[in-house]
Amino acid sequence: MMQRWRYIQLVLFACLTLLTVSCGLDAGSLVVLVSWPEGDTPPADVKSLVFIIEGKGINQTRRSFEPSKKTIDVPDLATGEKKVTLQGVNAKGDVLYQAGSSVTIRDHEHAAITMKLASTTPPLPPEPITPTTATTTLTTGTTTPMPTIPPSPLPPLQPSCDADVDGPGEPAIEFTDVPPYGSFNDHKPDGGPDDLKGKVSHVKPKDYKVAVYIYVPDIPPVSGWWTKPTFATPLTSIACDGTWRTDIMTGGVDETATKIVAYLVPNGYSPPLAEGMVSLPSELDSESVPRVEKTRMPPGSLDTTFGAGGMVMTDFKDSGSGAYVSIQSDGKIVLAGSASNGLNDAFVLVRYTPNGSLDTTFGTNGKVMIDFGGSNNAYSSAIQPDGKIVIAGKGGNGSNNSDFALARYKSDGSLDTSFGPDGKIMTDFGISDAIDSVAIQPDGKIVVLGHVYYGGLFVNTDLVIARYNSDGSLDNTFGTGGRIIADFGGGRDIGYSVVIQPDEKIIVSGGSFYGSPPSWTSYNFFLMRYSTNGSIDTNFGTNGNIIADFGGSLAIQSDGKIILAGDMDGNFAITRYNSNGSPDTIFGTGGNTITDFGGNDDGNSVAIQSDGKIVVTGSTNYTSAVARYNQSGLLDTTFGIDGKVRTDFKENRDIGWSVAIQSDGKIVIGGVTSTDFSFTRSCPCGGLVVARYNP
C-alpha cells in the first residue's frame, strides 16, 4: 500500500512539474507582486530575493532572483491551496526579510497577490525609564511632592550570540524533537510541531550553522540523501540560546525518510548539496565540529537493531513450547516456556539483552531449566517488583497426572530458595491440575488462575483461583485456605487470563464447554471479579459475572476500563468494558472490533501502550500476526499495513504467543516457530522466538 502510494506521488509530481498540459491535469497561474518595507527599493544589505512555493500536487519549488525583481510569474500550477514565501537574504545566506501568504489556484484562472517583506530582526527593547520625583506649586504657595512613577519592567535578559552556549566545553549538537515517521509539517505560525528541532552547546552561535540531511530509502528515483530544507537554504541558523529548527519535509516523500543527520559547521563553509546521494561525502565529517544522527522507522516494522533483522530464535531441537515474554526494568527481555531436558519436558527461562543477544550473566549461557518430575509445561510468567521471575504451569506428580507448579528465580537465574522448600512449589487440588495464568499483586503476593480435574470424563473440570504469599505458602486470608473453586455447571471450565486492578481486586476470564471435544454442544465465556479476600464482587457485571462473546487475554487501562482480546469466528476480536463491568459501547462498533487477517485467525495476548493504543498478537494461517488499535477501538492505520502486521519467523508454523511493551514503546512478541502442525495445549513446539517491532 505504502509503495503504491509513493509511486502515485512520483507520477503526479512528474505530471505537474513537467507535463501538466499533456497529462491532462487542471492548472492555473500565479503572479506575485513584490514590495519591500520602503516600497519598491530593496534594502542595501539584501543580495538575493528567494521565492518559495509549495503545496499539494507539486514538490517544493525555490527560485532566486535579483532583489530588484518586481513581479514573479508562475505558469502551469496544479490547482489547489499553495503556500508562498518570499525571503530577502544577505551574502552569507541569512534571511533578513520575509513574507508569507496562501493562495488558491483554480483551473484556467490567473491569481495575483501582493507580498510585502518585513524584517526578521526583532526591534530593540525600549530604553528603561529612570524613576523621577516631580513637584508642583499650589495657589496657597505650599509645595507638594507628586507620586513616584514606577519604571517600566525591563525585558528579560537575552542570551548573547557572542558567548559560548552552556559555557566552555567540547562542542556538541543534539536533536530535541524529531518528527515521527510518516508525519507532515502543518506549517503553523510557530514553525509547526513537525519541524526538526535541536540545540548546540559550547560554541558561539554567531560563528556556526547547522547542515541537515535526510535519507529516503527504496523510492526510486528519489532514494538517497537529500539536503534540507532546500538547495537555496542548505544551512540553518542558530538562535543565541543555542536552539535551532528547520523543516525537513519540503519534498514529495520526505515523510518516509528513515535517517536524519545534522552537522555543526563553521560560518563560511558551503556544505555539499545532496540530491539522492548514496552516501554523504566524507568532507562533512572533517569540516564539521560534531554531528548527530537519528534513525526512525515505520510503525510496525521489525526493529533491525534487535537480534538478526529484528528477531532472535533460541532452538530447543523442536521441543520448545509456550513463549511468554516479560520486560525487566533494565530493558532485558525474559522468555518463559517449556522444552525437553532429554528425559521429559521441563520449565525453561531464557533472558536476552536489549540488543537481542543471550544474557550470559543469567543461568547457563542465558538459559535455565527446572524439572518438577514427570511431564512439565509452563503456561505463564511474571516479574515481581523486586525483579524476581515467577514461572507457572503444571508439574508431573509421578502418576501421569499433574499439579499446580510454580518456580521463582533470582535475577542471576538461580532458584530463589526463600520460595517454597527449594525455589519451587507444587499444589494438589485434584487428580490433575494446571495453572493457566499468573499475576503479581503490588504487595508481592502471587495470584494464579487454573483448572482442576477430579476424574471421570476429562471434560469435567472446575476453575481454580489461588493466592500465595511471597514465601510460596497459600494465603489463608483468601477464599478458603487460599483458594476458590468455581464450577459452572458440570462442563469443562478453563481459565484464560488473570489481572490485578490497582485496588488489588482480581479479574479473571475463562470459558465453560459442554459435550465432547472438538464438537462442543455448547459453550460460554465469562469474566469475574473478586475482592481482595476472595469474595465475589457483586458490583461487577451481574452479581460479579459478565457473559462475554469470546474468551481471551485481559489488560486494564489507566482509567480502569478493561480490555478483553481473543478471537471469534476465525478473526481477531477485542472488546472493552467499563470498570463496573458494563459494555463500553463507544469502543469499536457497539463495544467490539473484529479484525480479519484473511485466514484462520487466533488472538492470544494483549498489551496497552503508554499512549493508550492497544496491541494484540496471535496468528493467521500459521503466520505470526500483530494488530494495533487506537483508544477508540479502531485499527491504527499508521501501524504496518492498515493496522496489521504479518511476520514469518522461520518455519511453516509461526505463532505470536504473548506481547509486552518496552518503556521506549517498542513492541516485543514472544512466539514459536515449528514444522510441527499438531495442535495441543502444550504445542506448537519448536524454536522459541522473540521479535521486536518499532512503535
Q: What is the pLDDT of residues 201-227, one digit of tens each?
A: 999 999 999 999 999 998 888 899 999
Query: In this model, does residue 89 exceed pLDDT 80?
Result: yes
More confident residue, 157 or 226: 226
Q: Residue 360 has which C-alpha cell?
A: 550470559
Determine contact, residues 486/465, Cβ cutoff 8 Å. Answer: yes
pLDDT score at 126: 53
pLDDT digits (tens, 9 = 90+) for 304-314: 999 999 999 98
> SS3 of 15, please?
helix
What is the predicted pLDDT for the residue at 125? 54
Residues 6+ apart with CB under 8 A from 367: 314, 348, 349, 350, 358
Radius of gyration of the chain (CA): 33
pLDDT digits (tens, 9 = 90+) for 107-116: 777 788 888 8
Q: How confident is the model at residue 94 (pLDDT cuts 50, 70, 90)?
A: confident
Q: What pLDDT is stored for residue 6 in this prediction?
A: 37
Give the Cα separation of 525 and 545 in Å (integer): 10
Name the residue among 4, 661, 685 with its Cα closest to residue 333: 661
* Predicted pLDDT at 38: 80
Average pLDDT for residues 561-576, to the nearest whole number? Answer: 97
Burial of 173-197, coded b for 16+ CB within 10 Å and e otherwise, reads beeeebbebeeebebeeeebebbbb
So what's the pLDDT on residue 24?
41
Query: What pLDDT does residue 624 have?
Result: 95
Which residue from 444, 447, 523, 438 is spatially nearest to 484, judged by alpha carbons? 447
**Chain segment 539-566, per-residue pLDDT in tens:** 999 999 999 999 999 999 999 999 999 9
227 closest CA partner among 13, 66, 62: 62
Q: What's the full length of the chain, in residues?
A: 695
Average pLDDT over residues 321-340: 90
Residues 6+ apart with CB under 8 A from 551: 496, 509, 510, 511, 525, 526, 564, 566
Q: What is the pLDDT of residue 7?
A: 38
CA distances from 178 to 33, 167, 214, 256 (A): 36, 25, 12, 13
Do 113 and 84 meet the contact criterion of CB atoms below 8 Å apart? Answer: yes
Which contiguous run of DSSP H or E holds residue 291?
strand 291-295
pLDDT at 57 over 60: yes
Amino acid at 287: E
DSSP 3-state of 187:
coil
Most confidently modeled range among 110-124, 178-192, 348-362: 348-362
Average predicted confidence (pLDDT) for the chain: 85
Q: Please, are residues 589 and 632 in contact by the beta-carbon 8 Å criterion?
A: no
Q: How confident is the model at residue 673 (pLDDT cuts 50, 70, 90)?
A: confident
Give the mean pLDDT of 439-451.
95
Give the C-alpha separation, 255 to 92, whole Å.
29
Closest CA to 463 of 513, 401, 391: 513
